[in-house]
Amino acid sequence: MAKGYWVSVYPAISDPEELTAYGKLAGPAVRAGGGRTLSRGGRVVAHEAGITQRVVLVEFDSFEQAVAAYESEAYQKALVALPGGVERDFRIIEGID
C-alpha cells in the first residue's frame, strides 16, 4: 500500500506566535492520526520557482490515513490557531508503492 504525505510550504510567516500556537496543537493531532514528521523547518535549497521558507513533510502509512488525520477533530482545532498571520500551501499526496 502506498504511503500518504502532508507537504506544507510556508511562503510567508508574518506572525511566528500563531505558528507556534498551531504547532502545539497540530503535533499531537498528527501523531494521534498516525503521522510521523520527517522534516520541519530545516535547511532548504530552492530551485526554479521554489522558496526557502519553512517546509514540513509528514508521512502516514496510507493516503487514506493522511486524509483522515487532516479531517480529524483534533487537527481541525489546530487549524483554528492558524489564521491570517501565516500563508501556507498544503497538500496531501499519495506516495509510490
Which tens digit of pLDDT belongs to each residue from 27-75? Answer: 999 999 999 999 998 888 989 988 888 899 999 999 999 999 999 999 9
Q: Identify which has the larger pLDDT, 3 or 42.
A: 3
H, E, C per residue of the chain:
CCCEEEEEEEEEECCHHHHHHHHHHHHHHHHHCCCEEEEECCCCCCCCCCCCCCEEEEEECCHHHHHHHHHCHHHHHHHHCCCCCEEEEEEEEECCC
pTM listed for this prediction: 0.90
Those residues whose C-beta lies under 8 Å from the C-beta of residue 47, and which sit 6 or more positions away, are none
